[in-house]
Amino acid sequence: MKKNILSHTDSKGFTLMEILIALFLSAIVLTVIFKVFITQHQNWAIQEQVTDMQQNARAAIDELTRQIRMAGHELPLGLPCIQAYNTNPDTILINYGDGGCDAPLEHDMPLPSAELRCDGHDISCFHDGQWVYIFHPDSGGGEFFQISEVQVGSQHIQHNKMVLSQCYSKGAIVIALQQIKYYIDNSDTLHPNLMMELPGQQPWVYAENIEDLQFEYTMKNGLIVDVPAIYDDVRQVKITLTARTERPDPDFPDDPYRRRQYTSRVNLRNLDI
């Protein structure tokens, strides 16, 4: 009996060479796609960092501009509107009245810990826990302290949590003031921050990744200085602020951070008289 021998000469399939070529081409296509994806992802991450940097910088310079413009408003005699520190990055301290809230003492203080008696004056604008400033118009000196209790009915102000440095006499004035300090904290070199500090409080971060802050002061005689000799003669403050991205950019190996610099000029309207 003869066995039928089937011919396979017409059967279809892939040779090993064809498979290897297909795998090689597929690898090239996948590599290109992967590289495009990585590039697009890196560009997106960089743009996100740039956007955050610009937002931080704009918020910071807008805040500085607004606060510096208020310097000197309803300020008592003897307290400078601005205090400048050429610390590189620079530091600035701003003072101004907070809403016209004030009350004079009608009795001498027998002790530095004694209550402040403002008999006959409305003290309802003050509140417990508030930091205020007390000064005597004749001497021009004063200090900040924290109110522990406002006794509206008796017109007395208590400061049990802290003792004043001196006994203030009748005629001294308690006034609500804003005193704000701005400076750069470089303790973490990878993340320098613009800090804000109020009297008696811990400083906090106002804007992240702000690496430099510089001030120039134009005096009423036109002279431009880094630190004014007479603060009441300041007429304009130039702010220069430099922000950088949070993370380094691998495309910039020598200086890996992207940066933006912003400048603002502020006229001190409360001193231009």
Task: Kindly report, residue by residue over 200-224, the tens digit of the pLDDT.
Answer: 889 999 999 999 999 999 999 999 9
| In-domain check, residue 217 | yes
Task: Kindly report, residue by residue over 87-120, the tens digit of the pLDDT.
Answer: 999 999 999 998 889 999 999 999 999 999 999 9
**pLDDT score at 43:** 62
Say if residue 65 is in the same domain as residue 187: yes
Say if residue 139 is in the same domain as residue 191: no
**pLDDT score at 272:** 65
| In-domain check, residue 154 | yes
C-alpha 144 chain-centroid distance: 22
pLDDT at residue 80 tops 80: yes
86 vs 98 pLDDT, higher one: 86
- Percentage of residues of the chain with pLDDT beyond 90: 60
Say if residue 246 is in the same domain as residue 128: no
Of 142, 157, 177, at which residue does a domain stop? 177
Say if residue 185 is in the same domain as residue 261: yes
Full 3-state SS string of 135-182: ECCCCCCEEEEECCEEECCCCEEECCCCCCCCCCCCCCEEEEEEEEEE
Range of the domain at 122: 103-177
Measured distance CA(93)–CA(83) in Å, rounded:
5
pLDDT at residue 39 tops 70: no
Task: Kindly report, residue by residue over 159-181, the tens digit of the pLDDT.
Answer: 988 899 999 999 999 999 999 99
| In-domain check, residue 128 | yes
Amino acid at 44: W
Q: How many domains does the chain have?
A: 2
Cβ atoms within 10 Å, residue 219: 16
pTM for the structure as a whole: 0.78
Measured distance CA(218)–CA(104) in Å, rounded:
35
Average pLDDT (231-259) is: 87
Q: Buried (b) or exposed (e) across 73-100, using 16+ Cβ within 10 A?
A: bbbbeebbbbbbeeeebbbbbbbbbbee
Say if residue 88 is in the same domain as residue 191: yes
**DSSP letter for each residue of 196-208:** EE-TTS--EEEEE
| In-domain check, residue 233 | yes
Say if residue 130 is in the same domain as residue 256: no
By C-alpha distance, which of 235, 184, 198, 180 is closest to 57?
Answer: 184
Of 117, 147, 177, at which residue does a domain stop? 177
| In-domain check, residue 238 | yes
| Structure token digits, residue 25 | 């081409």
36 vs 260 pLDDT, higher one: 260
Of 177, 207, 241, at which residue does a domain stop? 177
Measured distance CA(243)–CA(110) in Å, rounded:
52
pLDDT at residue 86 tops 70: yes
| In-domain check, residue 31 | no
Q: Which residues pair with 135 in a beta bridge?
A: 142, 173
